[in-house]
Amino acid sequence: MLLATSSKGHDSEVEVPKEFPELNKILENGMSDIPELEKMDHSVDSFLRYWCIEGASLAIMRNDSLVYAKGYGWADKEKGVRMSPSTKLRMASVSKLVTAAGIMHLKDQGRLALQSPVFGPYGILNRFDDAYKDQNYCLITVEDLLRHEGGFTTRAGDPMFSTVVMERQMGLSSPPTQDELVRHLLRQRLTYTPGKDRSYSNFGYLLLSMVIEEVTGMPYETYMRDSVLAPAGCYDFHIGGNYYAERLPGESRYYMQPDSEDVPDINDNSRMVPKCYGGNDVSGLSGAGGWIASTSELARFVASIDLRDAVPDILSPESIRQMTTWVDEATYSLGWVDTKPDGEWTRTGSFSGTSALVKVYPDGECWIMVTNTSSWRGSRFSKNVSGFFRRLRHRWSAVLPARDLFLDGTRA
């Protein structure tokens, strides 16, 4: 029996199915020391050195089988801890894929519809209806938030990464609670009519996290871990902390580029800190960007929402098709940042101290890399990783072993 504990203090017991071993307890680097792939490993090491990345974790699936999982470089250089396939890392906006799956799970249960209003008299979050005057808020649907069409923009800065500014505006000495942040932002008029345009919105996915809490009556993390992640065979996902002292067992240290400047601490504006440790309210991002996990468990999660047969899906075929159907070049997919008509799906994530890329290819392969170091290219770094994946696949895909590390971590 595995005890799942929410960061908000709610405990629940999750039965670990025998067919789903706890990956972070059985995977280690030695399992992926394959002589035929030594040159690929050298290429990864060279790529990380070129971009000044301290450490990264790589997981490769083929048709829902985990065929390769390895850590490169340092998980904690100062303590001499190497990266491994079990190291947990912040995944930034890849968290949105998890949140979208939670929404679709509730849809499958008949507990909400994608066209359900978020605000207004019949809205899921109608407790905030006294906070806004712009009646366009009543037009926002769950699907609008999933597709980044809720009417929010970041022209004045992203409120989810402007914690110090929010504190000053609101007269606070510590980060605002989720309810305080929502009430503050709802006082502003929407930039466009919901559903009529689009602008990438972290705030929209915070609202979706709160929708999940409202519908289920449970803290977001608790519901997601018990009802969505555990059935997928993922038992070691957590909402991360803001500081090095708050890291979880097995979690990586995070690094900035050598020339990066310190920023004010979100809990003490007079103190300067590395941006990856106290510069952002990571835990406050919730389902917009707060999850941490190993790449191995993240691969397991992707396998549970991909319509392939080897790993049972946790969502209905209809919901998975809704998440992955291409609409047009201008429309965001549900949870995924992009899904192509040919079956290539992409989810990216990036903020201070981490970068993540999930690529599902039409031939059944899925490549996932998460780093523990900021890149000077910021969110654009994912394009470099995507190109790197393309080169590695061209050279090494045929050499990947025929095995499934999901089964027991060792079976060839």
Alpha-carbon distance of 56 to 385, in angstroms, equals 12
Q: Could you give the C-alpha distances from 255 to 76, 275, 325, in angstroms and in order? A: 9, 9, 36
Cα diameter, the chain:
64
Q: What is the pLDDT of residue 143?
A: 98
Query: Is the pLDDT assigned to residue 213 strictly greater than 60?
Result: yes
Alpha-carbon distance of 304 to 314, in angstroms, equals 6
pLDDT band at 1; cut points 50, 70, 90? very low
Residue type, 236: D
Look at the alpha carbons of 125, 221, 53, 390 in this order and tell me if their dihedral is positive or negative.
negative
Query: Is the pLDDT assigned to residue 378 strictly greater than 90?
Result: no
Taking only the tens place, the pLDDT of each residue in 34-47 is 888 999 999 999 99
Q: What is the pLDDT of residue 376?
A: 87
Angle at 284 between CA 280 and CA 289, to 5 degrees: 80
Alpha-carbon distance of 82 to 53, in angstroms, equals 13
| Cα 165 to the center of its chain, rounded Å | 25
Query: Is the pLDDT assigned to residue 275 strictly greater than 80?
Result: yes
Which among 128, 230, 106 has a CA at the least distance from the CA of 187? 128
Alpha-carbon distance of 41 to 28, in angstroms, equals 15
Q: Is 17 helix (H, G, I), strand (E, B) or coil?
A: coil
Q: What is the pLDDT of residue 409?
A: 60
- The structure tokens listed for 281 are 């309210």
- Answer whether 275's CB lies under 8 Å from 260's CB: yes
Q: Are strands 55-62 and 365-371 parallel, antiparallel or unpaired?
A: antiparallel
pTM: 0.93
Alpha-carbon distance of 303 to 319, in angstroms, equals 15
Residue type, 243: Y
Q: Please report where in the chains the tokens 């979050």 appear, as a residue.
A: 125
Alpha-carbon distance of 168 to 174, in angstroms, equals 10
What are 364's strand-pairing partners? none
Burial 378-402 (b: 16+ CB within 10 A, else e): eeebbebbeebbeebbeebeeebbe
Pick the residue with more confidence: 34 or 278?
A: 278
Which among 99, 223, 197 has a CA at the least distance from the CA of 140? 197
Taking only the tens place, the pLDDT of each residue in 313-332 is 999 999 999 999 999 999 99
